[in-house]
Structure 1
């Protein structure tokens, strides 16, 4: 079964989120090694959890296409959630990497 445009967009956003989170993990891991503060540890844990969640989402999109393809409302919800994550990760990336 082919993926529809909404779920395809959600998969693309999850992939972009993974790409954006990789440098954040690197920066925050380096900062934690230097400063050893709870705040940086929390940021690092957040980035690792979001990276794992988005990587698993991409995997599940491809391994369980029929699960997402059945209901257009589910596809819309998944796309909205991936879009909100993308906006949040872009904000964190901009703030962290500038």
Structure 2
């Protein structure tokens, strides 16, 4: 059985492939694409924050509210960008037709 950390690390490869195809297709709204890339920032911040929480507080990241909340705010921002990007594409498409 794979550990959750191993599974998390392995999940990055399909996601990077997803980003590659989205970028290459040139059909994804720019703001949504930025949001999908911002998810990588969330991952990049979450990993060191988790290590810091373990070393400094002796806890997992989810149990250290100030670190966990800060990291999760990046996830929220990423989601907002994706939604706004696709919303704008829908509005633009309706206007064009």
TM-score bin, normalised by smaller chain: 0.3 to 0.5
Q: Which has the larger radius of gyration?
A: 2
TM-score of the superposition, structure 1-length normalised? 0.40
TM-score of the superposition, structure 2-length normalised? 0.40
Q: Name which structure has the greater RCO, CA cutoff 8 Å, separation 6+.
A: 1
